[in-house]
Structure 1
Amino acid sequence: MPNFSRRHASLALLAVLAACGKSGPTAPARGAMPQFKRYSGPPVTQVVVQKAERRMFLLNGQTVLRSYNFGLGNQPVGPKQFEGDGKTPEGLYYIDRFNPRSRYHLSVGISYPNERDVAYAAQFGRSAGSDIMFHGRGPEGNVFAPKNRDWTAGCLALTDQEIEDVYAMLQPGVPVMLYP
């Protein structure tokens, strides 16, 4: 039995390192449409993320519409530089995609890596990584989040209910500013 437990933990850890936005076994069945929340309030004009405080703000101008706590990558201090470093980016990015079939319930992508990120990583012969998302917990988050708040491969993890709100409120092109 101990080997099974170690093997199960190892497989779960490998799954965490998989790209946040890819579909997986917890996604809805092909052809099934998930139920989406609707949002009819003021538009979100920017997202501000304070990594150190683990706080995200959805703003309309200077007005905070909603704020959320979140988990980060498993190496939360410092900006993302390379694929697999477990860090979350810092700087200005934009909402660029939505995944209704994410293995992490729902996910909203940001435009990482930008040209600067790619060029920096290339100086070292490395990849900058990709698929940085706001997403729900999914199966790995349900295992790791209660014990370790920062468990993703570099994404920002919310609860499934919170990502439903965020997914409904955001539009492509909204700027996302991630501060240390």
Structure 2
Amino acid sequence: MMKITVWILVLLMITGIFYPCGRVWWHPQYLKVLGQRTVSDVIEQFGPQAEQRLKPHFAAAGVAYPPERVSLLAFKDRDLLEVWAHQGSQSTLVRSYRIQAASGVPGPKLREGDFQVPEGIYQIIAFNPNSAYHLSMKLNYPNAFDWQQARAEGREQPGSDIFIHGKAVSVGCLAMGDSVIEELFSLVYAVGRMHVEVVIAPHDPVIRALSVPAGSPPWVSDLYSQITSAIEHIRQPPMQIDQVE
């Protein structure tokens, strides 16, 4: 009886480690058995509940759902993601979420495998309804600015496959947890990817001016000026609702 109990505990430990850490390997095989989901499948499955959770926040902010445009502002030092809705000339902070996991340190992403969350101004270029991390949305990292600096410095592999996704594990992406990614996925789908901007900063430049980390390339000062200007533009109107969840 003692041996059986020990083996059960060992099996549970292995499962607990392999399930989250091994998703990249076992999840594709899982999908082969159960079949691929489409974006429409995901919206049909999670959309109604996600909208039900979101709409009270938009109503409290006085913003129609879905809004005309959306900005997502991520601050690495506080593990915070702000959702800003835009209607005409009005911008409103609708709600803020805790980022469950984000690897790396202050400073931009430079190369493949550095586990660094990038910093910059990005667009969402694809939905992944079959993500190993529940659901995910792909960013256009490296963007034109990232490629320009990489080529100037001879960096042929600046990295790729940066996502906003579910779960709470990150190797360079923003992990938001499953219920939150369902809300963000549904919101971006409703607004349209082309109407969504994602700004990732080391910290909030309104609280403290962005300073270039020691040892960074000279162009980082230009990048931080771009990020600061983008955030200031998004936050120009004063109407805000601060809800961190």
Query: Counterpart of 1:29 in structure 2: which amino acid?
Result: L
TM-score with structure 2 setting the length: 0.56
Which structure has the bigger radius of gyration? 2
CA distance in 2, matches of 1:12, 1:158: 14
Partner in structure 1 of residue 217 of structure 2: none
TM-score with structure 1 setting the length: 0.74
Deviation of residue 156 (structure 1)? Answer: 0.2
Q: 1:42 aligns with which of 63, 66, 75?
A: 66
Structure 1 residues 10 and 77: CA distance shift in structure 2, 3 A: farther
Aligned residue pair count: 160
Q: Indicate conservation of the 8 Å contact 1:105/1:136, yes or no.
A: yes
Partner in structure 1 of residue 165 of structure 2: 135
CA distance in 2, matches of 1:29, 1:36: 18
Structure 1 residues 119 and 71: CA distance shift in structure 2, 3 A: farther
Q: Indicate conservation of the 8 Å contact 1:133/1:155, yes or no.
A: yes
CA distance in 1, matches of 2:166, 2:84: 20
- What are structure 2's unaligned runs of at least 5 residues? 1-6, 56-64, 203-245
**Cα offsets for 1:104-159 (capped at 9, x unmatched):** 0000111111122123334234411111111011xxx4xxxxxxxxx411100011
Q: Does 1:109 align with 2:138?
A: yes
Partner in structure 2 of residue 95 of structure 1: 124
Structure 1 residues 125 and 80: CA distance shift in structure 2, 3 A: closer
Structure 1 residues 152 and 97: CA distance shift in structure 2, 3 A: same
Q: Does 1:178 align with 2:200?
A: yes
Partner in structure 2 of residue 156 of structure 1: 174
Instruction: After the TM superposition, list the runs of 4 or more consecutive aligned residues in structure 1 that deviate by more than 4 angstroms.
Output: 8-13, 25-28
Deviation of residue 11 (structure 1)? Answer: 10
Amino-acid identity (%): 31
Deviation of residue 31 (structure 1)? Answer: 4.6
**Cα offsets for 1:49-86 (capped at 9, x unmatched):** 11111110111132122211114443232211111111
CA distance in 1, matches of 2:79, 2:29: 28
Q: Does 1:56 align with 2:81?
A: yes
Which stretch shows the higher mean deviation, 39-48 or 124-133? 39-48
Tell me, what secondary structure is at the counterpart of 1:129?
Answer: coil
Q: 1:76 aligns with which of 76, 87, 105?
A: 105
Which stretch shows the higher mean deviation, 41-50 or 51-60? 41-50
